[in-house]
Amino acid sequence: MKSLRLILSNAKYFAPAWVFSSINILIGTWILYIPYIKNKFDLNDAQIGLALFFTALGLLISIPFVAIINKKIGVGKSTKIGIILLAIFYNFPLLAPSYIALCTALLCLGLLSGFTSISLNALTSHIEKNEEQNFMSAAHGFFSLGGFIGAGVGSLFISQFSNPSFHMLGISIFIILITLFLAKNYEKISGSEKEKTNHNATFFSSIKPLLVISIIAFIIMFNEGAVEHWSNLFLFDVIKVSESKAGLGFILFSLTMTIGRFLGDGFSYKIGSKKIILYASCIAFIAYLCIISSSFYFSLLGFGLLGFGLSVIVPEVFRIAGKTEGIDTSFAISIVSGIGFVGFLVGPVILGAISNWSNLVMSYVFLSALIIVAFLLTLVGLKKKI
């Protein structure tokens, strides 16, 4: 909880944490209206998955350019510009007049999501190193808190908006105004620094030490993205709850993930990164067993446990990446977070394809199998003392 107190008591740390929250407030609000989009264009699960694929495609396209832009204008300014543009562009999918326009809007969201998320994680890593303060896990806790706020508050007021566009526009304006007020605390941070890096190494030899943790990041963020986008449809289509209750799974998931991440820095200090990833993977697997039971209360319990299980893994992966010897910290964070966020955006796409081929229950069985893979990679591929 030390890192949480640090964030809440100092604007230098709260400002980037707010950006983490902002990203997921936008996502949490957007996912509430996926059933609306589905009905508006009369789409099946595969068509929704294809539309979401364009978000993943946009993120993939953005990755090679983020480091170049960050180097030119700095990670602080990149983060500020990214979150403001992201808040604006999240309005376009709900305004799309056609399926093609929807896919185009999601492609733009992917580009901006990649740019903003990678810049933000590089900024956080830079502040951690320069200030010698660990707050990565707690900062990611604010990402989860943002999802809880976006989906939780949105679920309460969703019936008050006859047009979803008004809801999203209000959220966007709120985020932009707060960002303009807080950005002065980080916008001048360049993030460029000289580190002991092997300049004779090729690009592929440089990322080799990051391969295992990048795959783990991909798997875990694949799960996070899939749950964010499909938890409400799981409860709506499989459990047969009302539309007003369909967001409860994601709300619980976001709440427990927030709590887990606020506690994560302390657990990491006591037992180390490898053990915390192993234990968290076990909790996540048990959570999926509860979810696929297809009982309303057991499924809700499962989403809550899943939030705890997944909460600490991604921050630990980023922490490991930042400590990788012989590799520039910003470069390592960019690679791991970039690959991870590809998983975050590809997850909903693949789940849509599996659901269309079989059903949503089978999609969640697939997610549980991925958790086993992450557990084995951690057990075999990571050093004991990290």
Q: Per-residue pLDDT averaged across 127-149, rounded?
A: 83
Q: Which pTM does this prediction carry?
A: 0.78
Per-residue pLDDT at 29: 87
> What would the CATH number be for the domain defined by 2-189+203-381?
1.20.1250.20
**pLDDT tens digits, one per residue of 157-176:** 776 767 888 889 999 999 99
Per-residue pLDDT at 174: 95
| Sequence spans of domains, the chain | 2-189+203-381
Per-residue pLDDT at 283: 96
**Residue that wins the pLDDT comparison between 36 and 306:** 306
CA distances from 116 to 4, 10, 89, 137, 138 (A): 22, 22, 13, 18, 18
Per-residue pLDDT at 164: 82
**Residue that wins the pLDDT comparison between 303 and 3:** 303
Pinpoint the alpha helices (H) of the chain. Answer: 2-9, 11-32, 34-41, 45-73, 75-89, 92-95, 99-131, 136-157, 164-182, 203-207, 211-233, 248-271, 273-291, 296-311, 313-322, 329-357, 360-381
Which range, 3-17, 83-97, 219-233, 293-307, has the best average confidence (pLDDT)?
Answer: 83-97
Q: Per-residue pLDDT averaged across 128-137, rounded?
A: 81
Per-residue pLDDT at 104: 96
CB proximity list for 357: less than 8 A, separation 6 or greater: none
| Tokens 């992201």 belong to residue | 86
Mean pLDDT of the chain: 85
Contact 268, 312 (CB under 8 A): yes
Whether the per-residue pLDDT at 92 is higher than 90: the answer is yes
Contact 385, 271 (CB under 8 A): no
Token output for 30: 């957007």
**pLDDT tens digits, one per residue of 278-297:** 999 999 999 999 998 878 88
**pLDDT tens digits, one per residue of 206-246:** 567 788 999 999 999 999 888 877 787 778 777 877 766 77
Band (pLDDT 50/70/90 cuts) for residue 342 is confident
Q: Characterise 294 by phi-psi region: left (phi > 0), alpha (psi -120 to 50), beta (else).
A: left
Rounded to 5°, the CA angle 226-255-286 comes to 60
Whether the per-residue pLDDT at 199 is higher than 60: the answer is no
Q: Per-residue pLDDT averaged across 63-81, rounded?
A: 88
Which range, 177-186, 285-294, 337-346, 377-386, has the best average confidence (pLDDT)?
Answer: 177-186
Report the alpha-carbon distance of residue 249 to residue 255 in Å, rounded: 10
Per-residue pLDDT at 205: 58
Per-residue pLDDT at 196: 46
